[in-house]
Amino acid sequence: MNVLLFLTFLWTAVSSSGTVISSDRDRPNIIVILADDLGYSDIGCYGSEIKTPNLDKLASEGVRFSQLYNNTRCCPSRAALLTGLYPHQVGIGAMTDTDIPIPEYQGFFREDVKTIADILKEIGYKTFISGKWHVGEKEGHWPKDHGFDQSFALINGASSYFDFKPYRNDLWPLGNEIKVVADNKVVDMNEKDFYATDLYTDKALDILEKHKTDEPFFLYLSYTAPHWPLHALPEDIKKYEGSYDAGWDVIRESRFEKLKALNLIESKTVLSGKNLDTRDWNALNEEERKYEARLMEVYAAMIDRMDQNIGKLIDYLNTKEELDNTVIIFLSDNGGCSAGNLANGKYSHPRLDPKAEPGSPSSFTSYGPSWANVSNTPFREFKSNIHEGGIATPFILWYPKAINSGIISKTPSHIIDVVPTLLDICGVDENEATLNTLEGTSLLPFVTGKETNFERPLYFEHEGNCGVILKDWKAVKNYGKDWELYNLSVDRSETNNLASEMPKKLKKLVIRYNEWARENRVLPYEDVKKAIPYQF
């Protein structure tokens, strides 16, 4: 979509939805909260048994999207979220700092790309980030270089929740150093006593406390929770003791029934089969079951603590009488991660103990494919895949001032839609801000009743995993495998591959995907691997 066409659409949509803003201070504050490696069914209002009362309240007063997609992994999802463009278009076609001399895969934002922070800054917003960055690890590609006035940011992709010391034993090409920056200056947090999820919230509140109230603000609160390693506070873990003793099959079935009752998935949806790596719970001995249940108790505690912190932020805004004039968006960067024990091999380190109690500071593990299959209920596959388990995210849009409460939107949507949606809500017009040639579309008309019928293709690619969705139909493939075809209107869980029955339909979708890939210089994964000086 070219800039002029986008701006024409945007101005028409804003005018028709009645949200034109007359002055800077009338514009709402904006908070985007991003969870990390959170599965589709991992919060209460999306079917989980995990206690998330604050997110549940936002959902009940706002809009839940049943079919909004991310870009299946940390870096590409963040790139799309911050720009309204596909990740290849902004320089992050793979991961960060890949050192590939190709603009689409360089591993940091291209110079001509504007982030949502850049755009909002132009129209009078103060722009803040607290939490994970992971869209450029080298100096010169940090938050302050991309429109953020103030920042407290973990530049890397993951770390311990109790310190920011290096955790990798091998000298990999990106280095062993974990960087935390405050306004682009590296800070040393290693002698501090903290838990990361609390820390990111507290730093965000510190920034907001110093903020001048006569200017609207944009806060990007990017949690690392519940990304590995599984680290949680004892009081949070205690809440979930015994909650997972029944095993992953029972919990997955329970979530599936709740999702149907919540009308987030259709009643005719079939629960996808267990992943091939899912173990037989009943075949585990007592010690194994206790250990596996503990992993999920810690994972649940991490999400619980994140929700507590979201509540802390909401309470602060309420106290400052800013809540009613604030837009809040919540989503995840990808589906649940199938990684298991990490305290060995490339993640081994003298201070990490493979036998440590999960959740403790010296432990370093994830929860494995069996529990990840639960996180992604009712879908197949995991983080990095383009099947629904990898790309479907819970998505909450809260702004009671302009949007009715309790809505569930079933419009197929994409993480690239967040930027144009926010600009729409803010009433940005063509004379105020210079924009990217945005690929995303404002979702506001679909939640205000202005638009009910919309059809456009959504595209995905990551490390050779590919996909395209056009209304009810989805073509998808894993790297090195054949294309598959699904009718999402009756088979959201992708259990009935129609590729052999409907080859013409599949061919049309694959042609569209290939056209998009050529236009955006999406390389075959074999070529990407050859160009990178190390293996992913």
| Residue at 413: amino acid letter | S
Q: What H or E segment, with its residue span, contains residue 8?
A: helix 3-17
What H or E segment, with its residue span, contains residue 66?
strand 63-69
Residue 142 backbone dihedrals phi, psi, to 5 degrees: -100, 175
Cβ atoms of 252 and 373 within 8 Å: the answer is yes
User: If we measure between CA atoms, which residue out of 455, 395, 401 comes closest to residue 427?
Assistant: 401
- Rounded Cα–Cα distance for residues 404 and 392 (Å): 24
Start-to-end Cα distance in the chain:
33
Asked if residue 125 lies in contact with residue 217, where contact means CB atoms within 8 angstroms, the answer is yes
Catalytic residue among 45, 74, 337, 426: 74
Query: Computed from CA positions of residues 206, 207, 208, 210, in that sequence, does the dihedral angle turn out positive or negative?
Result: positive
Burial class (CB within 10 angstroms; exposed 0-12, middle 13-18, buried 19+) of 290: exposed
Q: Residue 88 and residue 102: Cα distance in Å, rounded? A: 10
Q: Which of 129, 264, 314, 142 is nearest to 203 (CA)?
A: 129
Cα–Cα distance between 450 and 420 in angstroms, integer? Answer: 16
Q: What are phi and psi of 349, to 5 degrees?
A: -160, 145
| Residue found under tokens 């706002």 | 62
Could you give the residue ranges of the DSSP H alpha helices within 320-459? 368-375, 388-391, 418-426, 444-447
Instruction: Give how far Cα 461 sits from Cα of 315, 386, 388, 395, Å.
Output: 39, 7, 13, 21
88 is catalytic: no
Residues 6+ away with beta carbon under 8 Å from 244: 251, 292, 293, 296, 297, 300
SS3 180: strand
Name the residue type at position 11.
Answer: W
| Helix, strand, or coil (residue 293) | helix
Catalytic residue status for 426: no
Angle at 382 between CA 102 and CA 371, to 5 degrees: 145
Residue 267: which residues within 8 A CB-CB, separation 6 or more?
A: 260
How far apart CA 33 and CA 45 sit, in angstroms, is 16
| Annotated catalytic residue, options 45, 75, 134, 387 | 134
Q: To which residue do tokens 């929770």 refer?
A: 225
State the catalytic residues. 74, 134
